[in-house]
Amino acid sequence: MLGGVTVGEYNFYLMRIEDYDEIYALWKTTHGISLSEADNKESVQRYLERNPGQCLVCRFSGAIVGTILCGNDGRRAYIHHAAVAAGHRRHGVAAELVKLALNKQKELGMARCHLLVRYNNELGKAFWDSTGFFPRDDIMVMSKDL
């Protein structure tokens, strides 16, 4: 994976902190992605260092058109900020990002992957449902600001 994977005209690579500005710009323009202080460059760099070889970008003609932050805590995998630029949706970019990320998690011994989707993100819910993810009604997310 270090050298990348090519599918049609799309090239998939490991995410690098040097790509941060372009990645963040994509996240900012992607409906359904909520950004916070946890998405600053330093936090993303810590995430990449903590989860080496697990986060990906997709490039088309050199520009980043897709991302997936994926990592694990040693028990479960987690997906954050799976995003594809509007003009590149329905070309298999998101499906390939998810496949590559989940294959890496399987390789690392993870048996399940979790993700969060906003209730009003109908496009996101439909995509995740189509990839085999299922909603949970037996757990609730609780948060506390530190």
The structural domains of the chain, ordered by start, are 5-130 (3.40.630.30)
pLDDT at position 2 over 70: no
Of 12-16, 36-40, 117-121, the least confident: 117-121
Mean per-residue pLDDT, 99-115:
96
Residue 73: what pLDDT? 96
Tens digits of residue pLDDT in 39-90 = 999 999 999 999 999 999 999 999 999 999 999 999 999 999 999 999 999 9
Q: How far apart are CA 123 and CA 32, in angstroms?
A: 8
Mean of all residue pLDDT scores within the chain: 93
Query: Which of the two residues, 3 and 42, has the higher pLDDT score?
Result: 42
Burial of 24 from C-beta contacts in 10 A (0-12 / 13-18 / 19+):
middle
Mean per-residue pLDDT, 9-21:
97
State the residue for tokens 């992605």: 33
6-10, 84-88, 115-119 — most confident range: 84-88
Identify which of 122, 102, 126 has the alpha carbon closest to the alpha carbon of residue 114.
Answer: 102
Identify which of 19, 15, 22, 23 has the alpha carbon closest to the alpha carbon of residue 49.
Answer: 15
State the residue for tokens 């916070």: 36
